[in-house]
Amino acid sequence: MLSYAFVDQLYFGELPCPLCLMQRIGFAIIGFALVLNIRCGAHSAHYGWGIIGGLIGMTVSLRQVFLHIAPGDKGYGTTFLELHFYTWAFVAFLALLAGQAILLMLPNRDVRSRSGFANVIVILFIFLVFANLVSTLLECGAGPCPDDPVAYKGWIWLRSYFGF
């Protein structure tokens, strides 16, 4: 979900709203919990962080769904299979929370993955989170993010500050 949202932002030019950015934080927390499982082995504390991230993201996405549930409201942003991305985010957070609950019920085996594939996945995830952080700084600048972003405010701020 995090990668698709970033591709949608860069390719289709749809800038995320502040609630969308907070949902990305929830996905990043879940991702870091799964990275900890890959690198350090399965541990209930890792799932605890993932559940906290899922609850944060689910709450924010449900808030956004409730904001746009009024009759005649077309919602924010484009749709995929006739549902907005924040609705899909809510569904994904529910699925991820259910998956983490199931993983918590499995026997705890100390299995760490040092394979090349696991290393590539971890590096790509870290790069994706870092790229999202940079794009958020470019979008919002040094202040609060606009409710309905139309341009990269931080990029304009950087250009005026450094004179290029």
pLDDT digit string (tens) for 14-30?
888 888 888 999 999 99
Residue 58: per-residue pLDDT? 94
The tally of CA atoms less than 13 A away on the side-chain side of residue 26 is 28
Q: pLDDT for 90-131, tens place per residue? A: 999 999 999 988 888 877 766 666 788 888 988 999 999 998
- With a cut of 60, say whether residue 31 has pLDDT above it: yes
What percent of the chain clears pLDDT 70, i.e. is strictly above it?
Answer: 87
The reported pTM is 0.82
> What is the pLDDT averaged over residues 82-90?
85
Which DSSP category does 132 fall into?
Answer: H
**Taking Cα atoms as reference points, which of 58, 62, 63, 67 lies closest to residue 29?**
58
Contacts of 35 (CB under 8 A, 6+ apart): 122, 125, 126
How far apart are alpha carbons 25 and 12 in whole angstroms?
A: 21
- With a cut of 70, say whether residue 164 has pLDDT above it: no
How far apart are alpha carbons 66 and 54 in whole angstroms?
A: 18
Q: What angle do CA 82, 133, 119 make, to 5 degrees?
A: 90
- Quote the tokens at residue 37: 């499982």
Which of 43-52, 65-74, 99-108, 138-147 has the weakest average pLDDT? 138-147
